[in-house]
Structures are given as structure tokens and as C-alpha cells.
Structure 1
Amino acid sequence: MHDDDPGRDGHEPLESYAAIGDGRTVALVGATGRIDWLPVPDIASAPVFARLLDAQHGGFIALQPSVPCAVSRRYVSGTNVLETTYTTDDGVATVTDALVVGVAGRLPWSELARRIEGVSGSVPFTWRVQPGTLLGEVSPWVEETERGAVMRCDDITVAVVGSDHDANELDATQPDVAVTGGFTATASSRRLLVVVATRDEPLRLPDPANVDRGIDRTVASWRAWTREFSYDGPWRRAVQRSALALKMLVHSPSGAIVAAATTSLPERPRGGKNWDYRFAWVRDLAYTVRSLVHFGLREETHAALSWLVRTIRANGPDLHVFYDLDGSPATHVEEHHAPGWAGIGPVVTGNPAQGQLQLGVYADVFAICRTCVDSDTLLDRATGQLLANLADRVCDLWRHPDSGMWELAEQRHYTSSKMGCWQALEDAVHLAERGQIPGDPSRWRTERERIRAWIEENCWNADAGAYVIAPGSEDLDASVLLHAISGFDRSERMSSTIDALSRGLGADDLLYRYTGADQDEHTFVACAFWLAAALGCVGRVDEATSLMDRLVRRTNDVGLLSEMIAEEDGAFWGNLPQALSHLALIDAALTIRTMADGARGRGEG
């Protein structure tokens, strides 16, 4: 392994994690069976189990054989419930991991269930539930109650229950607060280890038999959702797994889409670029809505649209890049006393991109509304007027420099931002022509054409054979690929841009975000899928299909993707699971299928 081996300091490689969720939070389960990440009760809460970011004091939930074993794992078909099989010299056992949902949806508390079933022979297991310090902020303690040991971590209460899980007597002299135990799984045995938690409210200790039934109910609930999922095209398994990953990132209390399940996982070995992605980016919401509409999933689409328009009205008139999951603007960044994954800090909550002007966010808002309208949603009057006001705002703002899609410190006239303004006005005109936005769209049409002319005159570099990152530059920016998909340009210019990006930013079948990014970070997963989609848009369907075949093999063993992938060894970097990566996979699959169907309809190929 190279010097930046992500397995150092006792941390598992990021690609070793599988995710489970309940619509409120997400847990990450490592290949060894140890849960190293679980915020409770919400995904944006302080993580009571965060060994992912602090190997010594972060907290974890361990369950694994106490003897050498071979490990294989998979998601139970059509679900976000994980099944891990352990094979030792003397036996085989399976562990089923679920964040349990209730009869009427998510539970009002967090309930992590781990069911251990003996298949053959005997397999000895040990387990340990050790709460952490909330990223170095508090010191957990444990209390004996009439129902057993209860662990407290500031205002979070955690308890362990189970059936035949053989908890040990609590030893108050141990340096770390923990509850431990061990047992042997034998053929046809069935045991349960359950961790329940609440924050700033009473904790109900569940009957293990009810939790056991709850695991089966959770499997049935996920499968009921998957049956509504309508996609039978190429790369179906990868598309379905990506849709299930996105469903985990839909915050059911609000309808917001979480950008990723984690914070502070580094984008580069030397650290510094460690951000919190447990917020709702308008961009991700737009892409998610487009995907869900294609799959016929109406409830999540409506919830996302409703959350967005409520949020904009409450915090307008200008748009924010992202919001807290409750719809309020995220306002601060806080650094914590934790070493970070593999010792690569800092560990933070919050994201400094808040407050930036990113013109592309206007395109995202209009794209959400257009997608919904085109799938038989009627806009209410207040939303229509809001969009009319935003369209007028774009007519003025497009002349301003901004921070671009990549949240860069230098404000410039970024090409992809101007293309986004064109897209916003294109969609505004479309919605007006359908009677969904009040007023005369003539100004929007005029300004839309001014933007196109300005881009064509200033942002095309004939020497580079590409749309460049900004006027007067020869640098490249992969985000312009989005505007092959948006329809801004599917001509020879965009085809030439694709080739320039492949040469200038490509790394095998992966892609860096912009010129110079290879000196500062790893390849950005979504960009490679955008390239595949753009190839399809310009009629290069065979190339798009071949690239897509290679890219879907970049997922980990259970089909998940992080934010970035290292060119040298394929290791995952950045936060995970990353909504944008899975959205880009889905969008590429849908786009390529549509373009391939169109080519066949024209008798091509």
C-alpha cells in the first residue's frame, strides 16, 4: 500500500462500509461487523457512535466472531437491511443488521437491531457497545437501573437489550464506558442484540420479541417501496441500489435530501478539505426529484418540492446554496476535538459554502418545478409568483461573478454558472407557457438569448477545443458536462469539450473536477458519470455505454459510492454514501437509455 494507506491508525478503508437507515438517521457498518458511525436520533445530530472519526474515543457497536473467519455480505434483496455471513473452521452464522421502522413508518426513537442466527456448527461471538464523546465534547457515563445498564452521553440516553445475548456484569473500573457480552451461535439458534437511543426525552426499552418482528417488518417495508420503483433498463442492479441509497438520505420528518450521511471524511491525504455534508443542497434536491419522477415515486417528489418552496419563502428572497434539514439557513462552522478518519483532520460540523453566491442554484429550483409540472403537478399561486420573482432576479444576477458549482473562493464569471442561468430562464419560459407562472415571459426569453450569445462569444476557447472554466482561461471544468444533459449544447462543440475534458482531467475512466484539482484532491465520482451521460447526449452512445459499464464496477461490494475515488488504488475518499455520486449514476443510466432508444428509433446503429 502507498504512504496514504487509508487503513492506517486502526481505521477501516472507507470502501469497507455498508449503510443502513430508517428515514431519520444512517449507520455505517464496517466489513468486520463493527458499527463506526451512528448519529441519534437524526442524521445531523452529534454522533454518539463515531469511531469513524475518532478511533480511541469516538464510540462504536462491535459484534463479530472471536475466532478467525471468512466474511461475506449483501443487502437483503430490495432493502437497506444488511446480511453478513461469517464462516469459521467450526461453523457458519449470519448477522442481520437493521435500523428498525415502526408499523406506521419511522419510530420516534432510534432502534438498531442485530439478529444473529446459527446456520451450522458453532461460532463464538463477542460484542461491545461503547458510546463516544460526541466528537470530543462530553464525557459519557453509565448508570445501573432496574432494567440494567444505561449509558448517557450529554442529553443522549442509550440502552442495550436483547435475547440470549449474554450481557456481562458492568465493571465500573473500566476506563471506557461500555456494555459487553458474548455467546456462541449454534445451528438453528437465534439471538438478538438491540441498541436503543433517544435525545432529551424518555427512553422506552423495547421487548426483544417485538424488535425481532420489527426486523422482518423493516424488510417488508423496504420491499414495498422497491416494488413501486419502476426501472427495467440497463445497469438495473446498480440503479436500484443507488435509488435505495438515495431513499436512505431522504430525511422523512421534513422531506429534505441529505447530501451525505457523514461529516469530515477527507478529500485528500493531507487534510484541510473536510466538510459536513449533512445538509440539504438545493442542487441534490433537483437531481433527486428528476430521478424519482422517472421511477414513478410520487410521495418523495411531492415532499421534496413542498419542503423547498416552504424553505425559500421562509428564508428569501435570495436563495441559499443549502439549508438545514428543518429548512433554516445553516449559519456556522465548528471545529471539534477529534483526530479525524485515519488521523486526517479537522473534524467539523457545518460547511463554509453557506452564504456564497452560486448562480446554478436558480437553475436547480426551476428544474425541480419543471420536472414536477411535467409529471402532472400543478403549482399553487404562491409558488408561481415566487418563481416569477426568481426569474426576474436571474435576469439581473447572471451578469455577476459567483463562486461556481465547486464553491470556489475566487469569484469569477464561471461558464457553468452562466449555463445554469440560461437553463433557469429556459425552464421559466416553459412553465409560463404552460400557465404555471404568472406574467409575460418576454423578458425571460430575451435575457435567455443574451446569455446564450454571451457564452458562445466568451466561454468557447477554439485553441482548447472546449468550453473553458471562465472567459479568458484555458482551464477546464467538468461541471459544463451538466449542460449537455440540460440541453444547452449537444453539438460538435460539446462533443469536442468532452474529448478535451477526457484528455485534460481524465484518470483512466474517472475525472477530476477542474484543472489543477489533481494536485489537491482525488477524482470526483459524479463527474465521471456526467461524462458518460454527456457522451450519450452528443450521440456517442456506444462510448457512453462502454464507460458506464466500467464505472458501475467502481461501487464497493454492496453497491455504494463515496464522493471521491483515488486514481492510484481505487480507494474511497470523502463523505459517504454520497447522494450526488448515486444521482449521477442514475442520471447517466437514464440518459444513455433514452439516447440509445432514440438512436434505434431513427434507425441508427
Structure 2
Amino acid sequence: LRRMRVERGEARLNLGLDPRPRFGEVRMREPRREGDVWTAEAEGLRMRLAGAPDAVWRDAAGLCGVFRLREGETHDLVLELSAGRETERLDADALWRATEREWRQAVPDCSRLVAPRDARHAYAVLRGLTSVSGGMVAAATTSLPERANSGRNYDYRYAWLRDQCYAGLAVAAHGPHPLADDAVRFVAERILADGDGVRPAYTVDGRPVGHERSLRLSGYPGGNDLVGNDAGAQFQLDTFGEALQLFAAAAAHDQLTEEARRAAILSVDVVERQWLKPDAGLWELEDRWWTHSRLSVVCGLRRMAEVLPGKDGRRCADLADTVLRETRRRCLLPDGRWRRAEDDDGPEAALLVPMARGCTFGDGDCDAATRAYIESRLTEDGYLYRFEHAGMSLGEAEGAFLLCGFTMALATHRVGDRVGAFRWFERTRAACGPPGLFAEEYDVRQRQLRGNLPQAFVHAVMLECAVRLAGESTLP
């Protein structure tokens, strides 16, 4: 839907519409006008455009037209692209009303939350990134570079199970809303289908993600065109930990379906077999014995132990104790803080995630020491980075990670530092552009968003901050 309106004076607007499938290789065929609706087809796609009856179709340029509007006049255009042969009338007024009605119903009331307007906006972004299948893409774009001419640009138009769990947990903290049910359904389906072979990411309809490849297009300045994502073939242990937390949240709202319960039991089976195996971790790096992955699993197992009855619950609790005991042996330093990995003593912002979830691991000293160390080593001007890159200062290799800033706000709030939590929250939520969308990274020095957007898990954790900092969470 596109509405043109002249507030003052007169306006001339030019129309140019030349949709071409296969990234511009194929032109639409058989253009024709039926009443005030233009139609054309190609490669199984059908286009309909209402509102431009006087436009002209030119072979080299597509549909061309001119609109001249006087002060106070409005004019609507309706463009539809579909794989079927839709026959419903393209009534602009009716479609505007339906759009407004559907979005009001889709986004819950957030008036009691911190930053209610931003919270509703975050929820709307998550809803918009979620397919009818229940799968939520990590971002709507591909190949927007994180650093110019560095090869750091990726295709995020896929459903990462971890990211979807973050979104589901954030929504569930606010209440038993349909978006949380979508997350539970999609994650459960993938786990039941693939078991030990669960992939970190899928297409929104549940198919495997293809390997990275070039389309031989010019791409965004400073980057290169790219589709596919090699992370789809990795093993990421924390995916199961986050899934278990999501299923436990559903149970807390009495919305754990039988399918999700079976997926939870299967997740426990996989963890029992795989938790000693090195994995790629939250940041999808090389396979190592990452501390965060194990603590995520411990958190998920504990949450499920609270909601599963009988031997299943006891099994979760026992396995959590086993994983934690070995993780403490390998990854807890003598000074009381967590290592980044079994073989890496550096600071790691991913370790804030279990703290943000309210998971403690024996005593609070290791969490407090870890959080203080992360803040002292990974903070610049109130923004938080993921980890240190060898031989480089903060901000040199990549921007601050907004997920980390919001997670620090939650972790700080968990220990009762309300002022500190709000400081992190307000600083991080300011790192957006005019549309109010967050990217994955923020260049602190140049004040620029970096990478694909909108980044779903950033909006998700922002929403969770708005819920928990307001004291409105329906979950522990």
C-alpha cells in the first residue's frame, strides 16, 4: 500500500514499476490492464497494481506513469505480488482498514512496560519477521556489510532457532501471546524432525539453509552479494539450552503442547549425548568447549526440571548438576570468574545470557566477578562488545553488539542494581536509526548501524528489558 497526499501546493509524482524475477534476469510477460488494475506474470509470480489506470507499459522500462495532485488530494496505489491467481478486489480503503485492524490485534498492549512505544514497536518488528509457518528470520536483509571491504557480510534471511527462542522468551515474559506459541511450534517441529542433527538455522518453511554463494551482482557498497549461510551446518549446543528454556516458559503459561513436550524430552536426550562435544557457540566461531554453551544447557535443564513431573524432572536436574560440575572444573578460574572457554581466559559477553535469565551456579560470587570483568574489559562509552580480538582495540575489528548491551541491562537488573540496569538499557536503545530499527552492531565512534537489519534478537531482548525492568514479567 502506498498513499500519496498533498498537504500544501501541488505535486507531480512519477511512477516506475519494473519487477523482474531472478534478480532482474527475467522480465514480466503479458502485461495488460483490466479496468484500473494492471497485471503481468513471469516465473510463477503474478503482479497486480491498482491505482494507475493511465500508466503505460514500456518493454524496456515496465510500467510508467505520472500523477498530479492538488492541495488536499490523496491517491492510493496497491501492489500485489503472489504465487497464485488472487481474485479479490484491490480496494485501497478496505486494505488500509484491514491492515490497521490486524496490526492492532497482533501487537499487545505495552502501556505498563518501560518505554511502551519502543516495546510495542519491537513486538511489531518480531511479528513482521515471523512467517505463517512460525519461523522467524534473523533479519530481513542480506549482505549489508559489518565492515567495508572486509568480507564481513552475511545472509540473515533464515530462521535461527536460538534467535527464535530469545524472541519467544521475551514475548512469554510479557504474557502468553501468539508469537510465543509460534516460536514453540517452529522450534519443536525442527527438533522432532532432526534430533541430534538439529541445525542452528533453517529456511522459514523448515528446509536446510544452503551454503554461501555469490549471485554475481554488484552488492551493497563495501560488501558483496551473498546468499546462503554456512552456519546452517554447524553444531551449536546452546540451541538446546535455549529451546529447553522456551519450552519451560510455555509450560509456565500452561501452553506446552504434547509436541513441544516430546521435543523437550528429545532435547534432553541430545544434551545427554552431546554436551561434552566441542561446539561453535553463540557467536558461531570454531568448535571449542565454550563455557556459555554449557551454562545455557544447565539453565535450560533446570527450568525443565521445575515443570516436568516425576522421573523426567529428576533426570533434568541430575543432568544439570553433572554438566555444571564438569563446567566448573574446566572453566572456573581461581579468582572466581568464568573463562570464555576451556582454553581461553578472556572476557566473553555471552556469559551474561544465563545471568540475564536468572540462573545462578552455586553462589553469586562467580557471576558477580564475571560480570565485573566483562564490564571492565569490553565496554566503550557505555556500549558493550562481544569479546576481545587479538592485537586489536575495541571497535577496531567490529562494532559494539547491541544484544550484549541489553543482556547486560538484564543481568544488572537481576542483581538489584536498578539504576545501572536502566543506564545500560537507555544507552543501548538509543543506538537505532530514524525507523527505530536495530542492527546487530553499532559503530560507537562513527555512530552508525552495522550489518543486516532489523536484527530480530536485538529487538527481542530490548522487549524483554522493557518487561523485566518494569517489574511486569510473568516468568521467573
TM-score by length of 1: 0.71
What is the distance in 2 between the residues matched to 1:178 and 1:296?
A: 48
Answering whether residue 370 of structure 2 is matched by residue 497 of structure 1, we say yes
Match for residue 15 of structure 2 among 127, 130, 149: 127
Match for residue 324 of structure 2 among 431, 449, 452: 452
Report % sequence identity: 24
Contact preservation (8 Å) 2:212, 2:230:
yes
Greater helix content: 2
**488 and 291 in structure 1: CA distance in 2 versus 1, 3 angstrom threshold:** closer
What is the distance in 2 between the residues matched to 1:583 and 1:305?
A: 15
**Equivalent residues in 2 for 1:311-460 (5 A)?**
311-345=190-224, 347-380=225-258, 383-408=260-285, 410-432=286-308, 435=309, 439-460=311-332
Aligned residues: 466
Contact preservation (8 Å) 2:412, 2:421:
yes
Partner of 2:344: 473
Partner of 1:514: 387
Partner of 1:44: none
**472 and 197 in structure 1: CA distance in 2 versus 1, 3 angstrom threshold:** closer
- Does the residue aligned with 1:256 lie in a helix, a strand or coil? coil
Answering whether residue 71 of structure 2 is matched by residue 190 of structure 1, we say no
**Equivalent residues in 2 for 1:279-318 (5 A)?**
279-318=158-197
Answering whether residue 457 of structure 2 is matched by residue 580 of structure 1, we say yes
> What do residues 390-422 of structure 1 show as CA deviations (whole Å, max 9, x unaligned)?
2133123221111111111x2111010110121
What is the distance in 1 between the residues matched to 2:101 and 2:401?
A: 35
Match for residue 161 of structure 1 among 29, 36, 50: 50
Q: Match for 1:194: what amino acid?
A: V
Greater strand content: 1
> What do residues 201-238 of structure 1 show as CA deviations (whole Å, max 9, x unaligned)?
3354844xx12321122112212333x33451221121
- Does the residue aligned with 2:269 lie in a helix, a strand or coil? helix
Match for residue 238 of structure 1 among 118, 141, 158: 118
Contact preservation (8 Å) 2:110, 2:119:
no
- Does the residue aligned with 2:235 lie in a helix, a strand or coil? coil
Partner of 1:145: 32
Q: Match for 2:377: what amino acid?
A: G
Q: Match for 2:192: what amino acid?
A: R
Answering whether residue 97 of structure 2 is matched by residue 225 of structure 1, we say no
**261 and 478 in structure 1: CA distance in 2 versus 1, 3 angstrom threshold:** same
Point out where structure 1 has 5 or more consecutive residues left out of the alignment.
1-112, 598-605
- Does the residue aligned with 2:217 lie in a helix, a strand or coil? coil
What is the distance in 2 between the residues matched to 1:166 and 1:240?
A: 38
**Equivalent residues in 2 for 1:21-100 (5 A)?**
none
Contact preservation (8 Å) 1:166, 1:183:
no
Contact preservation (8 Å) 1:143, 1:149:
no
Partner of 1:104: none
Pairwise CA distance, 1:151? 4.9
Q: Match for 2:27: what amino acid?
A: P
Partner of 1:181: 65
Partner of 2:156: 277
What is the distance in 2 between the residues matched to 1:220 and 1:146?
A: 30
Partner of 1:251: 131
Match for residue 412 of structure 2 among 518, 521, 535: 535
Contact preservation (8 Å) 1:537, 1:591:
no
What is the distance in 2 between the residues matched to 1:134 and 1:494?
A: 51
How large is the Cα RMSD of the aligned pairs? 2.7
What is the distance in 1 between the residues matched to 2:223 and 2:448?
A: 15
- Does the residue aligned with 2:154 lie in a helix, a strand or coil? coil
Contact preservation (8 Å) 2:139, 2:452:
yes
- Does the residue aligned with 1:134 lie in a helix, a strand or coil? helix
> What do residues 491-537 of structure 1 show as CA deviations (whole Å, max 9, x unaligned)?
24323322322232223222222221844322222111111111111
Q: Match for 1:376: what amino acid?
A: D
Match for residue 85 of structure 2 among 187, 194, 202: 202
Pairwise CA distance, 1:371? 0.4
Q: Match for 1:450: what amino acid?
A: T
Bigger relative contact order (CA 8 A; separation at least 6): 2
Q: Match for 2:372: what amino acid?
A: D
